[in-house]
Structures are given as structure tokens and as C-alpha cells.
Amino acid sequence: MNGHVIPYTPFAVDFWRSRQCDRTGTRLFFLTHMHADHTSGLSPSWKHPIYCSEVTAKLLKQKFDITPELVRPLAVGESRILPLDETRQETMTVKVFDANHCPGAVMFLFQGYFGSIFYTGDFRYSSEMFGHDVLAKRQSIDVLYLDNTYCSPECEFPSRTQATQMIKDIISRHPGHDIVLGVSSNALGKEDMLVELAKTFQTWVVVTPQRLETLKLLELPNVFTTDPEAGRIRVALKYQITRKNIDRWNKEKPTIAIIASSMYAGLDGIPNVHIVPYSDHSSHRELHEFVSRLKPRSIIPVVRAGNGKGESGASLQRRADMHCFDNYLDSSAKRKFQVPESVEKFMYHGSNSATGRIKGTSIFDGPKRVRSKLGVHYIDDDSTEHSTSENRKCT
């Protein structure tokens, strides 16, 4: 699960473990988008308000049957003031930005007693993001939670416009072929590319019934169908594109497969299979450009470190090392803050004793006790694998 409880605050992003949230006093929940690795733990029994984009709100109610009153939509570009205690004495401002990742995906900027926290979730960087007044003014960011999915030098790929053109070129070279387009999920993602292909080649795009229900909610152009005979292009999961299936499809009708993925290996050299580096995440170069322009005081990776490897082959441990951004960080002193007493009471409303129960949630090590009343803290003092300007530089 790629989510976090924000230390010394009553809110979490993409984090749905109820018991741990109870221990850390988490009362407010934010959802960046609807991909499975960001919704793990959600179910119809969820009992807390969820703040998300308007598109995600529709998808959330459809997929998880969340009680409608608990889903609190936020418009992209909106700033919303939310109370952080029972008396509305303490508040925070939440600003919402388009994440350029999948339909409904957003980034959040949180501002309150804890300073300024920017949470990207999954995002594909675009220079247009800094056209927003808040980012254009180079507002000070204390902590950046960064999508580090492809934070490795080998993770370089073209823009999605360029990748889409590559797919068009492949299809144009095979005018008599059906097209099987391999994607990562049958639920959400790459809709803009699919609509563009449908319009360019004047064909229906065949999808599963599950995906069609999602597409209807998105109110996209009417280019999708579940009739396998109606369209030349059909969407399949990547794992379905195998040598055996390619041979079977070609016995029925000339067919090529295109895997639209930024980093994918294992089918190279198989006839009629084409791999196009299409990504809904930022490349290594784009991450560096984004951080260099934002200039946060510290960075925490959204994707946690581990021993496994991602699609790119780069170890998760390596991609969670944020020290490669050290040269871009704001070197001014880290901001100190103290949790207001009213917020502390809000976090542990109904407990026998709020005092002494406050815990800071280490992003990687789980809960650990600190002094009651929380004392004075630095905005990033509870993370073990973040990067700050005081840490070592890359070598």
C-alpha cells in the first residue's frame, strides 16, 4: 500500500488501516486516486470521511459502495479550509492539483500548524503544473511526499504524446491487423490514449464490461464497446500477451500486440509484439526538474523501500533513496511546530486519556512513543529515509 499517516497530525493520505489509524489519532483521510495500490484496505464498511477529487468520488462510490455522506469531493484548483479540532479553533487549508496520472488523480498541498506539506501521490510531471498561482509563487514547502516509482537513472522515457504517436505509427504499418493493446489494469488508466487511437483509426475500442462501467462514469467520448467483433483495437492485461496467445490470435486473424508500458521486459523478440515506453508516472529526469523547481526542505518517498524490484529492474531500496535530490533542497532552517492542545484532543476523542497517548508515526518504522503533549517538533523529524539539505550528497 502506497499511503502514509502524516506524523503529528490528524490526517493520512491513501492509508486505510483502521487499527493503526486509531493508534495514531488519525481522523481525516485523503485519497489521491483509485488505483489498487492506493486503496488497499478500503471496503464498504469504512466509517470515516474521505476527501478526494470529484471524479474519484464517483469511482469510489461505484467500486467500494462507500456511504455517499462519507465521500467529500474537492474540485481541482480548489482551496478548502478544514477543521482540525472539535471547536474549529484550529484549521488547515487543502489545495488540490491535477496529478496528470489517471482520471481523477490529484495532488494535495496541506498548510496548517505543521507547516506546508505537498503530497504528489502518483503523478506525471508537466511544466504546466507550475502555471498554478500557488506553485508559480515558489511557496515554501516543508515536506514533499514524492512519487518515486521511477526514481532511478535508467527510468527515462518519452512524453505520453510521443509514446502515443509511436503506437499510431505501429498501427499504421499494420493496416490489415487487429490490435491487442496490453495495459496494467482493467479498471483505470490510459483513457486519453485509447480515445485518441479510436478517433485516429475510426474504430471502436473493445474493453471488458467492468472497464466499460468505469468509462461511463468518466463521461468520455462514445468509442468503447464490449462487443469483440465491433472494433479493431481491444484492450487486454499485459499478462495475457504471451507467445501462446499471439499464435492463437494470428490463427484466427492477423494480429499484433502493443504493450504500452514504460518499463517492460520478457517478450522482447517475440514476433508481432511491440513494446512502447508509455508512462503515467514521471521519468527520472522529470522528477529532478519538478524537485528543482519546487525546492522543498525535505523529501519523503511515497513508495516505501523494500528488497524487491520494480518493473524497471531498479531495486525499491534504491528508488526510495531521496538523496539524489539534495542539491535542490531549500537549505533554510527546518520549521518547528507544536501540536495544539485542541488538535490533540480531537485526535484522541473518546479515549480515556488523550495525554500520554499521542504517538508520532514513523513512516517506515511504525508507531513510536514521544512525550505527551508532543512537545516541539521539526516538520520532518519523524522519517528515517527522507532527504534534507543537512544529509549527505549523492556520490
Write down the pLDDT at residue 379: 53
pLDDT tens track for 77-89: 999 999 999 989 9
pLDDT at 385 over 60: no
Write down the pLDDT at residue 19: 83
Per-residue confidence at 7, pLDDT binned at 50, 70, 90? very high
Write down the pLDDT at residue 154: 87
Write down the pLDDT at residue 258: 95
Look at strands 298-301 and 387-388 and give their pairing: antiparallel
Per-residue confidence at 309, pLDDT binned at 50, 70, 90? very low
Write down the pLDDT at residue 330: 92
Which pairs with CB-CB distance under 8 Å and at least 24 residues apart come from 381-384?
Answer: 381/7, 381/334, 382/7, 382/8, 383/7, 383/298, 383/300
pLDDT tens track for 132-187: 877 877 778 999 999 999 999 988 899 999 999 999 999 999 999 999 999 887 67
Residue 389 or 182, more confident: 182
Within 10 A of 323 (CB to CB), how many other CB atoms are there? 16
Residue range 356-365: mean pLDDT, rounded = 37
Q: Rounded CA gap, 36 and 5, in Å? A: 18
DSSP-derived secondary structure letter, 351: S
Write down the pLDDT at residue 351: 47
Which pairs with CB-CB distance under 8 Å and at least 24 residues apart come from 156-159?
Answer: 156/283, 156/284, 156/285, 157/262, 157/263, 157/277, 157/278, 157/279, 157/283, 158/277
Write down the pLDDT at residue 348: 83
Write down the pLDDT at residue 268: 64
Write down the pLDDT at residue 80: 96
Three-class DSSP category at 215? helix
Write down the pLDDT at residue 380: 55
Contacts of 207 (CB under 8 A, 6+ apart): 186, 215, 224, 225, 226, 234, 235
What percent of the chain shows pLDDT beyond 70? 83
What percent of the chain shows pLDDT beyond 90? 64
Residue range 283-312: mean pLDDT, rounded = 83
With both helix axes pointing from N to C terminus, report the angle between 54-64 and 209-218 in degrees, rounded to the nearest 10: 150
pLDDT at 102 over 90: yes
Write down the pLDDT at residue 382: 46
Q: Rounded CA gap, 20 and 106, in Å? A: 25
- Of 57-71, 125-139, 202-216, least confident by mean pLDDT is 125-139
Per-residue confidence at 36, pLDDT binned at 50, 70, 90? confident
Residue range 238-262: mean pLDDT, rounded = 93
